[in-house]
Amino acid sequence: MSTIAVYPGTFDPITNGHTDLVERASKLFPKVIVAVAASPKKRPALSHDLRISLAKDVLGHLPNVEIVGFNNLLTEFTRSVNGQVVIRGLRAVSDFEYEFQLANMNRAIAPDVESIFLTPSEKHSYISSTLVREIASLNGDFGQFVHPEVKRVLQEHYQTS
């Protein structure tokens, strides 16, 4: 059986840190599904369809990576795609407590799904979607943190907002 790994997130927007983690995961697993959460409670800046489209643009160079949107419980989604592993990124020690709690909750709901934590390379460890959105909304230079297409879309989004 080939292991299917699921990397969930809101990806609002997808950053170079996300890309780094997906590239790492694609070397570890025969199939990686990047699961773009609708996350309406988070009130994302970009539409669900646009976030899916951007992830496809950014990650299209990885043949064993599939991009899928979802709007249900992560454990349900993971089971629906026959996933056995959920990948979570840890940028800093401060991320660990929340991610640990989430992993334990997921394990209680779906004991057959394992959580694995990956860290981005040091040069991406401080990048977050929240900071990228903040910089973009204030017309700052954020191009080094995202793919050029993401930069273009965000600039357009905040110019018309």
Q: Is 129 a catalytic residue?
A: yes
Q: Is 51 a catalytic residue?
A: no
Binding annotation for substrate = 10, 42, 74, 88
Residues paired with residue 51 on neighbouring β-strands, in sequence order: none
Q: Is 152 a catalytic residue?
A: no
Q: Which of 48, 129, 133, 147 is catalytic?
A: 129
- Spell out a b/e string for 20-46, using b for 16 or more CB atoms within 10 Å of the CB, else e: bbbbbbbeebebbbbbbbbbeeeebbb
Q: What is the C-alpha to C-alpha distance for residues 3 and 152, in angstroms, rounded to an integer?
A: 35
Q: Which of 18, 48, 51, 133 is catalytic?
A: 18
Q: Which of 24, 79, 91, 107 is catalytic?
A: 91
Binding annotation for ATP = 10-11, 18, 89-91, 99, 124-130
44 cis-preceded (ω within 30 degrees of 0)? no
Q: Is 107 a catalytic residue?
A: no
Enzyme catalytic residues:
18, 42, 91, 129
